[in-house]
Structure 1
């Protein structure tokens, strides 16, 4: 596990780690960037600490996704100058690319919502950092804002943006080649977070199961999920780090379905200029580790 690098005097705050990856790529060599949420924290349920509030108050710029993702942010940002914020869901170019929370091609009838206490997203899927296309728009928006804040650093910022766009385009091509042989291998997830990535690279998500990660599922729940896995001939089911392996093993016990793990928040990946590409490659490898029949 890579060490988490924290910059106590950072002047740019990104709410979640993948947004910080993009921010660092553009701001590198100009200003420090920091991530608000620690590794392992959920943006849906995180409670800000006093030190977080100080960071936000002192930041030159705060970059966040939207009120249905970081539910704690709107109240905190009421007293922060609008010119010191970028709410990514409000960017017009991004709005035209948004997916609904359960896009038509995600098979509504396969979405089994079992945990009644689960947080429900708003109308749109806010996991926008998983779209390479949207990531480029985010980078351009951050670049434009930083040019306003630091006009004397325009040359460095421009070079950083060009490098990011070029590298990301190469990353997309490489990932597409890696995933081409698993595009027809169906799988289920326990968090409907990957729609942008799946759509971009033509992956076959059969649906999502929503269960409480802290509670052992009952017999009926296990049976219902196993029935879905069998009916749709799923190759894999993907959990996230917060899910106990024992719970998932119980669900797939007696089936040929493999268990994989996906990390949509880039947990453990250090903040560097190349982090966003590293993040996408890591997610790709996690998919291949389960879907690819070796």
Structure 2
């Protein structure tokens, strides 16, 4: 009887092991950060799950990959990220993936020509009709490291659309049987993005000439696309506090009424913003560059853009 029980036990164990292999314990798509997950979720809706690597409240600028994160990347069917200049913590793990499982937004065809440097002050405004005016870089720029560019690429509606198309293409290769659903998802995303673009253009038009300071240089693509006129930013890297001379320059501009708002961020609430604005008429607002309180869904990316627009408009209008 004991021998029979042992046989049943081993048979059950073997069955459990086989079942554990058959059932994937990971999301098919792993996105580096939430806004990238927003775009992926729009295309993968109803087809395959999407998981976000970076926890809420963490910064892509200083995150360290955990062993469990490396495992999630290894077993993902598709990893979508901005690129090594943004998520340096992922570089080693992603380098081990085959090309069909790796989608870096910075490497998508057509994105290179839209890249801007962090200090780009040229006129790259948006006409409100769905076209982003951006000066093409010459051929030599294609050989430069992306580290010279502002890599907050999810802030550009045009780059987001190109990303959605690229994700659609990757998923078609992985799941050709779901072509009809994937095609419908891409069509829905592009239509919602176009409609949201028009609404945001109208919402931000009255505040285009109002100056403001942002905490760090994360919003360049959004600002240029919609014609906003930032006075400047406190820091390029949010991990590094601005120096005394920089703070004095900002304080002087606030006193001289060259800016009506200063914006903090949910994950970075530096005391320097309160200190520099004290005693002035400047309003304080918050911009969320990662959409921290938005859940992944079919329409989460357009919700993210709309929320960002409202955060700008509320402070700049003084509502």
The bucket for the TM-score relative to the shorter chain is 0.7 to 0.9
**Contact 1:214–1:244 under 8 Å retained in 2:** no
Deviations 1:101-140 (A, max 9, x none): 211239xxxxxxxxxxxxxx82111111111111110000
| TM-score (norm. length: structure 1) | 0.87
| Alignment: residue pair count | 274
Q: Are 2:95 and 1:78 aligned?
A: yes
2:286 matched residue in structure 1: 261
1:113 equivalent in structure 2: none
Task: Give the one of 41, 66, 75 matched to 1:58.
Answer: 75
| Most deviating of 145-154 and 71-80 | 71-80
Q: 1:219 to 1:139 in 2, by over 3 A?
A: closer
Q: Is the 8 A contact 2:216 2:237 kept in 1?
A: no
CA distance in 2, matches of 1:218, 1:184: 28
Distance change (3 Å), C-alpha of 1:214 and 1:164: closer
Aligned pairs for 1:74-113 (under 5 A) are 74-105=91-122
Stretches of structure 2 that go unaligned for 5 or more consecutive residues are 1-23, 124-145
Which consecutive segments of 4 or more residues in structure 1 shift more than 4 A?
211-222
TM-score by length of 2: 0.81
Distance 1:31 1:91, change over 3 A: same
Which residue matches 2:57?
Answer: 40
Supply the distance in 2 between the matched residues of 1:131 and 1:212 (Cα, whole angstroms): 19
Contact map agreement 2:235 2:242 (CA 8 A) in 1: no
Equivalent in the alignment of 1:145: 170
Counterpart of 2:15 in structure 1 is: none
* Aligned-residue offset at 1:228: 2.7
Show CA shifts across 1:186-227 (max 9, x none). Answer: 111111111111111111111112288789878765433211
1:100-139 alignment runs, 5 A limit: 100-105=117-122, 122-139=147-164
Corresponding residue for 1:207? 232
Once residues 137 and 214 of structure 1 are traced to their aligned partners in structure 2, the CA distance between those partners, rounded to angstroms, is: 30
Q: What SS does the corresponding residue of 1:44 show, helix, strand or coil?
A: coil
The equivalent residue for 2:187 is 162
Provide the rounded CA distance (Å) in 1 between the counterparts of 2:307 and 2:91. Answer: 31
Aligned mates of 2:238, 2:225 — CA distance in 1: 28
Structure 1: runs of 5 or more not aligned: 1-6, 107-120
Partner in structure 1 of residue 301 of structure 2: 276
Return 241-250 or 56-65, whichever deviates more: 241-250
RMSD: 2.2
For 2:39 and 2:226, locate their aligned partners in 1 and report how far apart those are by CA, in whole Å: 20
Per the alignment, residue 171 of structure 1 pairs with: 196
Contact preservation (8 Å) 2:215, 2:238: no
Greater CA drift, 234-243 or 27-36? 234-243
1:12 aligned residue (29, 45, 58): 29
State the secondary structure of the residue aligned to 2:30.
strand
